[in-house]
Amino acid sequence: MLLWILVFLVTRQSGITQGHPDLLSRASTEALCDCTINSCRSLFDIIWGCLATTFACTWVALHQNVPDPELGWFSLLLRKLKMMLVTIIAPEVIVAFAARQLISALRISQEFNVSKTHGFFCTMGGFVSKEGYPVSRDKQLPVYMSAIQAIKEADIVDKSKGDTLSKGVTLAQGLWFVTKCAARVSQHLPITELEVATLAFAVISTFIRLLWWWKPLDVQQPLIVVRHNVELDLDPLEGRHETAGTHTHDLVDRLFDMIGGPHDEYSPLSSTSVPSFYSIPTKEDKLASIAGVFGIGTIFGGIHCAAWNASFPSGAEMWTWRISSATIATYPILIILITIWGVVLDNALHADTLFVWLNGFLVIGTVVYIPSRFILIILPFTTLRAPPPRAFMDVNWSNYIPHL
């Protein structure tokens, strides 16, 4: 609601052209358009296109884990809103989450000769025992696998709220926005800061959609599977407290725990659903989380740096944008370099000492990183009060598609 109020105020202010040189030049630029279709665009067109693309990148693209079957519609709505907020503030975390689940799904698919959809359904908490506990640990899979293999892939896909066509359409929407931005650059037309921020979401969303291509969408109820191992009457996790307990001194493991949470300590017997960002843990998915968070974070910040020399209403806004985008782009690189440095010195220094240094750097960097992310969310809207006049000129698609 606050976002729509902001859009209304911006568009309302943009209509007041009297006495403002930037707005007068904008009006003259629109007058230069020959008023034929696709010759120019309005401020509302820019904002609406960006908001629609951002919604598709943050809400439609989200493939959540199976929730608690007892949750009501309002709790489910809040659950998805929270994940949408995480996607807006830290999209690289969602990419890392999707990469972890894909690696786990591929491993399950190859190890147990099931489809990738089965693998995703296992790691997202889609299979539960007759007692209602998720089958989401490596120790459980061999015992329940015969029942899981008996379930057809089509039955799992049938529970999904999205098919290949719908996923392809949402993917195409993001790619179309990227294409429009590329066309504007090709024709030397300015791109507003809001479009640059939306472009970053569109690129990151493409990674997310591809990583989750085989994951069922918005499944609300799990499938019950029954143990067929007559030699084992109990679930492999029953009768014991199945927690990892001890933290390894491996720097990669410690760094992963800070990023994705200590999933090794989660026990399916403690709840009727898996955590929101859960995936069956493996060594490979920890490396994927680290690479996803820091690598995608650099790409996300780098796209914002593309507006380094863009037209800003004031010098203060220009330098605020530059500093914030540079922070988002370079901070993940520093983390990677420190991690590599720590691994190299692992034999000379105790891993706990390296972890303290790394943890301290993360805390200090987070104090700067989070405000920079919020600035890059708010600033694109404030700069719309005086966009460059040529920003209202639309792409001439006839340069690429003859007779259009």
pLDDT at position 34 is 47
pLDDT greater than 90 at residue 229: no
Indicate left, alpha or beta for 399 from its phi (over 0: left) and psi (-120 to 50: alpha).
alpha
18-27, 57-66, 204-213, 312-321 — most confident range: 312-321
pLDDT greater than 50 at residue 316: yes
The whole-angstrom separation of Cα 119 and Cα 110 is 9
pLDDT at position 28 is 45
Annotate 177-195 with b (16+ C-beta within 10 A) or e (fewer): bbebbebbeeeebbbbbbb
The mean per-residue pLDDT over the stretch 164-175 comes to: 79
The whole-angstrom separation of Cα 273 and Cα 280 is 13
Which residue would you say has higher pLDDT here, 189 or 341? 189
The whole-angstrom separation of Cα 132 and Cα 140 is 14
105-114, 159-168, 223-232, 293-302 — most confident range: 105-114
The mean per-residue pLDDT over the stretch 155-163 comes to: 85
Whether the full predicted model's pTM is greater than 0.75, yes or no, is: yes
pLDDT in tens, 19-73: 333 443 444 444 445 444 447 888 899 999 899 888 888 888 888 999 988 888 8
Percentage above 70 pLDDT, the chain: 70
CB 259 within 8 A of CB 293: yes
pLDDT at position 223 is 92
Cα dihedral 116→117→118→119 (10° resolution):
50
pLDDT greater than 90 at residue 175: no
pLDDT at position 320 is 94
pLDDT greater than 60 at residue 240: no
pLDDT in tens, 345-400: 555 455 566 666 666 766 766 778 888 989 999 999 999 988 888 888 888 887 77
pLDDT band of residue 236 (cuts 50, 70, 90) is: low
CB 386 within 8 A of CB 310: no
CB 92 within 8 A of CB 297: yes
pLDDT in tens, 102-158: 988 999 999 999 999 999 999 999 999 888 889 888 888 888 999 999 999 999 998
The whole-angstrom separation of Cα 95 and Cα 208 is 6
pLDDT greater than 50 at residue 319: yes
Q: What mean pLDDT is reported for the chain?
A: 77
pLDDT greater than 90 at residue 168: no
Domain ranges of the chain: 37-234+271-395
pLDDT in tens, 263-297: 556 777 778 888 888 888 765 556 656 666 677 88
